[in-house]
Amino acid sequence: MDNSETKTTINVKGMTCGHCAQAVEEAALSVDGVSQATVDLGKGQATISGSGFDLDTVIQAISEAGYAASVGE
Ligand SMILES: [Cu+2]
C-alpha cells in the first residue's frame, strides 16, 4: 500500500505576482494525487502535498503553465 501523504518542495522560477502563484498552484493541483499546493512567491518555491503523485508530472504541469520548475537545492 502506498497511501502515505508526502510533501515535496519544488523550486519555481518566473513567478512575479499572485496570479503566477495561482497558476502554479492550479497546475500542480491538476495532477492526480496532489491534494494541496502552496506557493511561496518570495522564495520562488511551491510545496506540493498529496499521496501517490508523480513528481515529474507535477514539474511538467508547472512547466506547461509557463514556469521553470525543478527539484533540489
Ligand atoms: Cu504574475
Query: CA-to-CA distance for 32 and 43, rounded, in angstroms?
Result: 25
Find all residues with CB under 8 Å of 72, minimum gap 6, and list them.
Answer: 11
| pLDDT surpassing 90 at residue 3 | no
Distance of CA 54 from the midpoint of ligand 1 (Å): 26
- What pLDDT is recorded for position 4? 85
26-65 pLDDT per residue, tens: 999 999 999 999 999 999 999 999 999 999 999 999 999 9
Contact assessment for residue 29 and residue 49, using Cβ atoms and an 8 Å cutoff? no
DSSP assignment letter at 34: E
| pLDDT surpassing 60 at residue 1 | no
Distance of CA 28 from the midpoint of ligand 1 (Å): 16
- What pLDDT is recorded for position 12? 98
Please state the pTM of the whole predicted model. 0.91
